[in-house]
Amino acid sequence: MSMLKKLSLSVITALSLAFVVGCQTAPLSKVTDPTSPNKASNNISLNAVPKPQLLERLTYYDWQLIQVKSKNGKTEPFRHDPPLLMDIFPNRLVFREGCHRYHVFIDDVIGRPYLYRFNNFRTLETLPAQTCQNSGTDDNSEIRSALERLFVPYGDVGFNFEVLSKSQPQPKIALSINNGAALIFSGKEKPQQRISGIPITHELLQRYNWRLIRATDANQQRIDDFYQPDIPITASFANDERGQRFGMSVGQHGSGGSYVLSVNQTLLTQTDPSLAISFGERLDNLWRKFVVVALRPSQLMLTEQPAPSQITNQSRPRYLLTQKAESGETLVWESEARLNRAKNDGLKLLN
């Protein structure tokens, strides 16, 4: 019998019913400014993060489900080997257990007390058993059944992340649903690295437009497709009522969405750009190839670019933004001044 079969039916029932019968969780206290994403480890706590920026700060942690809570206030522990883990991204939650991964897509919501809602649930992938720590867990039917009962039946489920305990290094949060239910997670800080270059802030990213000037693959070979003189590739960042937003364009194609700047200057972006209009096979194919690279989780590094020797009175610094994708590709962007900030802030950002 697999480890998944050993998971008690009572815990599965509690996990499934938590969204149906509900509970109330402690609200997040009101605070003002978030701490900088480049601060040292002992300054990345959840003590000074307002709700609109909380999701970004939660990406600094690995989260493990430890409890479920029902409407009558009864708390049930969730014990499972391997544990059920949650990774947070701008537009999705990824649940992991053993060799199995599940996507729960989310949307951000304006003008409602619950900031997010569930959009779609699907199995993401099943990893090869030999690459997993728990290669014997080849039957995921019970966990999948539980997750389906949690997410699939609800067409418009709103939820928030609520901080239950801010103690470091293992805070607790609740994924709190608008029907009153919650799943409770314990967090562990992701390892931090020494950051090279200039510390990156949202304000600095949003001050400029960014133009792609160099691209290499995982073997440091030039990606020829991205060097098209008649097809500029650009990116921009902005802040609006929905939070941190990014936009990008490849010639006439453009798209965007939410982004966060996570631990170690890791850029996490929305990962479902649309291709609603065709601009010809050449441009369409280039767009598809580009977004596969640009929207992967990646680490950013910022350096200042010396002014050309013929320019003696440069009024603005020129920056190079290096984006190293987790799959090995590298994109290098050069800063360009924003001539019309208000116009650019709305350019190609999703509504």
Please report the domains of the chain, with CATH numbers, ordered by start residue: 4-189 (no CATH), 202-345 (2.40.128.270)
Q: Where are the beta strands (DSSP E) in the chain?
A: 61-69, 75-77, 85-89, 92-97, 100-108, 116-126, 158-165, 172-177, 182-189, 208-216, 233-240, 243-250, 253-262, 266-269, 298-305, 318-325, 330-337
The reply to whether omega before 229 is within 30° of 0 (cis) is no
Burial (Cβ within 10 Å: 0-12, 13-18, ≥19) of residue 153? exposed
Q: How do residues 222-272 score in pLDDT, each as one tens digit?
A: 999 999 989 999 999 998 777 789 999 999 888 888 899 999 999 999 876
Give the three-class secondary structure for 61.
strand
Q: Which CA distances in Å does 236 have to 38, 227, 249, 339?
A: 20, 19, 9, 13
To which residue do tokens 């605070």 refer?
Answer: 31
The pLDDT of residue 343:
42
Residues whose CB falls within 8 Å of the CB of residue 92, separated by 6 or more in sequence, listed in order? 103, 104, 105, 106, 271
The pLDDT of residue 149:
60
The pLDDT of residue 261:
94
The pLDDT of residue 137:
47
* Lowest-pLDDT choice from 44-53, 61-70, 71-80: 44-53
Residues whose CB falls within 8 Å of the CB of residue 291, separated by 6 or more in sequence, listed in order? 248, 255, 273
Give the three-class secondary structure for 157.
coil
Q: How do residues 163-213 score in pLDDT, each as one tens digit?
A: 988 777 789 999 988 877 788 999 999 998 888 899 999 999 999 999 999
Taking the CA of residue 95 as centre, how many other CA atoms within 13 Å lie in the half-sphere pointing to its CB?
A: 22
Q: How do residues 131-172 score in pLDDT, each as one tens digit?
A: 565 544 445 566 666 666 666 655 567 888 989 887 777 899
Residue 37 has pLDDT above 50, yes or no: no
Q: How do residues 50-66 score in pLDDT, each as one tens digit?
A: 666 888 999 999 999 99
Q: How do residues 19-30 score in pLDDT, each as one tens digit?
A: 332 333 333 233
Tell me which residue of 275, 270, 278 sits closest to 294, measured CA to CA. 270
Residues whose CB falls within 8 Å of the CB of residue 318, separated by 6 or more in sequence, listed in order? 304, 305, 306, 307, 334, 335
Give the integer Cα–Cα distance in Å for 262 and 264: 6
Give the three-class secondary structure for 329.
coil
DSSP symbols for 199-261? PP-HHHHHHEEEEEEEEE-TTS-B-GGG--TTS-EEEEEEEETTEEEEEEEETTEEEEEEEEE
Output the pTM of the full model.
0.77
